Structure 1
Amino acid sequence: MSRAGDDNAAGEGGLAALLREISACRICRDMPDGGPDKALPHKPRPVCVATSDARILIAGQAPGTRVHASGKPFTDPSGDRLRDWLGVDESQFYDAANFAIVPMGFCFPGLDAKGGDLPPRRECAPAWRGRVMASMPQLRLILVIGQYAHAWHLGPLRKRNLTETVRNWREILEASESDCAVLPLPHPSWRNSGWIRKNPWFETDLLPELKRRVHDLLGT
């Protein structure tokens, strides 16, 4: 469901070839950044929905345990909250003609000592993200979720921390509007419920604009 971004890949054939390459990727296990002791401790299972049709890209962090098990992005409570933010149901969300879903790391990175997800693997974005992004010139809205996606997609528009970056969403939209609009979001994890309560402008100001843009692009 994507087109490769290099000169040797074009159209649906290139799309399928790029996804086959991603599906077979094992660099986080076989050639880990930092040496063999930093290797992914379980079998890689890349999760990426790159598409030549969708006009909206969800640029997330990395799969969690449930997504690692299902092989399908956002099959967890974070996905339920994200779909609520977007104002779409599951059938709309998982229609590749509507949404491309390309996390910063394609594989579940494992858990830290406290049981939380580790950061996206550092090998993934340098190896794949440029090609995947180049494969989707039809995109008109990129939703960047969490600090790692902010760092890659926003460049100098990123502020000192996630709160300041998301609070600056109007300036980021305006700066990116002429090409492909970019909208920063926090992660929809339920662990961020406290952040949402402390920042009521997110639900009163940003989410209505997010829903409006999504529904305009989906034609709903």
Structure 2
Amino acid sequence: MNFETLEEEILKCDLCKEKFGFEPHPIVFGNQKSKIMQISQAPSQNVHKTLTPFDDASGHKLRNEWYQISDEEFYNPDNFYITSIAHCYPGKSANGGDRLPPKICATKWLTKEVEVIDNEIYIILGAKAASFFFPKENYTSLIFSNKEINHKPVFVLPHPSPLNARWFKENPQFLDERLFDIRAAIHKVLR
């Protein structure tokens, strides 16, 4: 499947319509030659409304504090291909958090995206996205190790959500050390 067909199919997908109870809005951004493929769990409720990936507090933190790049650099489709395990916001669970992303989305679409996108590096955000690619590995260990997908570097990051405050407190070396390596790799690819 070529890129244009894949993107078109993803954007019109409604496989999970009955599960969600609302109209799905698949979110994908970038082009086939994007330098960085960023993969997260699922779009937030705000992203579902605005249809702009990472158009929320987590996205602001990711771009401005962690990556230290401008919005223009982040939203340049030549720089970032932004996708996720679930391309649509999955809705709220009974306990008030977001539902887990349905696996059908990743098996149907994400595997094809990884085949078609000609990126230089991967950034994987959060435990759910990391476990899709590295199911038998410890999440925290993944964050502090160097991995590859298709012979290309992979950087696993915790999700920048405030809900991860405990993880950051228990792993200060991420912000103090590891983030510098990841940021340097991003800047090298973008320059």
Of the candidates 113, 116, 124, which is equivalent to residue 132 of structure 1?
Answer: 113
Residue 120 (structure 1) aligned with residue 97 (structure 2): no
Q: Give the TM-score taking structure 1 as reference length.
A: 0.81
Deviations 1:173-204 (A, max 9, x none): 1x428810011111111111232122110011
Does the aligned pair in 1 maintain the 2:30–2:78 contact within 8 Å? Answer: no
What amino acid sits opposite 2:5 in the alignment? A
Deviation at 1:69, TM superposition (A): 0.0
SS at match of 2:165: helix
Structure 1's unaligned 5+ residue stretches are: 1-5, 10-14, 31-38
Give the 4+ runs in structure 1 shifted more than 3 A. Answer: none
Root mean square deviation of aligned Cα: 1.7
The answer to which structure has the higher strand fraction is 2
Distance 1:74 1:90 in 2: 10
Residue 203 (structure 1) aligned with residue 184 (structure 2): no
Deviations 1:116-171 (A, max 9, x none): 111112220111112111111x2221111112211122255x22xx33332xx23x
Alignment of 1:36-185 (within 5 A): 39-83=19-63, 84-136=65-117, 138-156=118-136, 158-159=137-138, 162-166=139-143, 169-170=144-145, 173=146, 175-176=147-148, 179-185=151-157
Deviation at 1:50, TM superposition (A): 4.3
The number of residue pairs the alignment matches comes to: 190
| Larger Rg, first or second structure (1 or 2) | 1
What amino acid sits opposite 2:57 in the alignment? P
Q: Give the TM-score taking structure 2 as reference length.
A: 0.92
Structure 2's unaligned 5+ residue stretches are: none
Deviation at 1:17, TM superposition (A): 2.1
Distance 2:13 2:165 in 1: 34
Residue 213 (structure 1) aligned with residue 185 (structure 2): yes
Moved more, 48-57 or 82-91: 48-57
Percent identity over paired residues:
28
Distance 1:50 1:216 in 2: 19
